[in-house]
Amino acid sequence: MSTIEGLLREDLRGRTAYGAPQLDVPVALNTNESSYAVPAEVVDEIVAAVAAVAAGLNRYPDREFTDLRGDLAAYLSRSGTTVSPEQVWAGNGSNEVLLHLLQAFGGHGRTALGFTPAYSMHPIITATTGTAWVDGLRGVGADEHEGGGAFDLSVESAVAQVERHDPHVVFLCSPNNPTGTALTLDVVTAVHDAAPRAVVVVDEAYAEFARPGTASALSLLDGRPRLVVTRTMSKAFAFAGGRLGYLAADPELVDALRLVRMPYHLSSPAQAIARAALRHADTMLGTVDAIKEQRDRIVSSLTDLGLDPVPSDANFVLFGGLRDSHTTWQALLDRGVLVRDVGIDHYLRVTAGTPEETTAFLDAVAGLGPDHLEGQP
């Protein structure tokens, strides 16, 4: 054991840092970013917004990011559920928002539960706060992947697991990453009611891509002070480099997060560029339908190729039927297409990009040959 390893917290020794490969390839479809650049008119407003605050960078930013909270509340209220600025919190990407939640409501002697496979950062962030992590299960009793059944989460299964572990924080991912499957609201309410001493976090990072009829947990916030809905501007807003994540919750819960945030954690430029993007919300979201079209094209085409894609409510598709995930991942990379190996045997995940990127991906898959398919001789 090295000197540094010996000084490291015992619960962090031997762990691997989070990191998706950032490779220079013709078609990068592995991190669920938008493949579409920020529109020129929004770029101009972002530049102007930064210029407007630049002279005041000798002063600290608005610690309460008051105007940004108002803009985020107005955007969320477009869903049909009124959200007030006092219900909104934001951070450097949704990961910092999740960190604040765990710093405030997790910690040593406390437990967080998530239903895996789900967003891999949930257990990683949990570990950094010294909170114990429990891997809940999806698809309990399911033995088929048809239609994503192996990745579904039923009310009965979710409630039984919550009651068994009695956690302090529960993560529900909807639409779920990496499966793309969304939860029904009865699962959310049942989990909330079954975990009376837990903060229940519904991670809705991909909510804008959901298929028609998929409800948001925002509609459940009223009267549930322990319920939190997290969102991000990284995905549907095509703003991953802007690093702005946020949540909606009861004002008292939001106020508690002030106890753990670093002073002035959102810089003046960060607040300014996020507000500029929100002023152009319709423009920034203008590619969502095009991305959903490519997502559905991927599901249909992979099915025709003999693979097993999971119908998705996100901007990506998890697909199975592979003999060896890593071998296929490397074969696609050798053809200039980077997808994500999410650590599920026989499955890979691909982001829905432009029509040209989708074609390149599907052509690469079609050229792999039957030896990559599960069950082939």
Q: pLDDT tens digit string along 26-54? A: 999 999 999 999 999 999 999 999 999 99
* CA distances for 169 relative to 199, 220, 303, 324, 331, angstroms: 5, 17, 37, 35, 40
Per residue in 246-298, pLDDT (tens digit) is 999 999 999 999 999 999 999 999 999 999 999 999 999 999 999 999 999 99
The predicted structure's pLDDT at residue 376: 67
Structure tokens at 136: 């809940």
Structure tokens at 67: 């105007």
Contacts of 199 (CB under 8 A, 6+ apart): 101, 105, 168, 169, 170, 226, 227, 228, 253
Residue 143 has pLDDT above 80, yes or no: no
Contact 285, 206 (CB under 8 A): no
Structure tokens at 52: 């407007």
Please report the sign of the dihedral spanned by the C-alpha atoms of residue 154, residue 322, residue 311, residue 200.
Answer: positive
The predicted structure's pLDDT at residue 333: 98
Element (H, E) at 355: helix 355-366
Q: What is the mean pLDDT of residues 143-159?
A: 73
- Mean pLDDT for the chain? 95
Contact 308, 321 (CB under 8 A): yes
Among candidate residues 206, 167, 198, 197, the one with its CA nearest the CA of residue 291:
206
Residue 139 has pLDDT above 90, yes or no: no
Per residue in 164-214, pLDDT (tens digit) is 999 999 999 999 999 999 999 999 999 999 999 999 999 999 999 999 999
The predicted structure's pLDDT at residue 17: 85
